[in-house]
Amino acid sequence: MRLITLFSIIISLVQSQKTCDNIQLPSNNCVQFTVSSGTGCQWMCNYCASQLGTNNYYFTDGVCSYQQGQGCVGNPMAGKSYTCCSV
């Protein structure tokens, strides 16, 4: 029953049109979220660092990465679910 409730919460959060829908996954120090149109990697990197409490993290699908001289770069897509995890 708890799994069905958690799944329902995740589905409703993913379908939301907010800039970021946050689902904390404390068992593996990850945070999962979706972004709206116009949200870039710099915002995503700042969000992950803030939520995870560290600058030592990675995106599980590699959507954003740090590039020397450019900062956090990549091409996120609106409505897609992204996950970042602390190392």
pLDDT score of 2 more than 70: no
Nearest to 62 by CA among 74, 78, 50, 77: 74
Mean pLDDT of the chain: 79
pLDDT grade for 28, boundaries at 50, 70 and 90:
low
Q: What is the mean pLDDT of residues 3-29?
A: 44
Element (DSSP H or E) covering residue 14:
helix 2-15
Q: Report the candidate in 81, 87, 37 with the shortest Cα–Cα distance to residue 63.
A: 81
Where do we find the tokens 């959507």?
63
pLDDT, tens digit (0-9, with 9 covering 90-100), for 30-62:
999 999 999 999 999 999 999 999 999 999 999
Q: How far apart are CA 38 and CA 19, in angstroms?
A: 9
Pairwise pLDDT comparison (21 vs 64), residue with the higher score? 64
> What pLDDT, on the 0 to 100 scale, is given for residue 48?
97
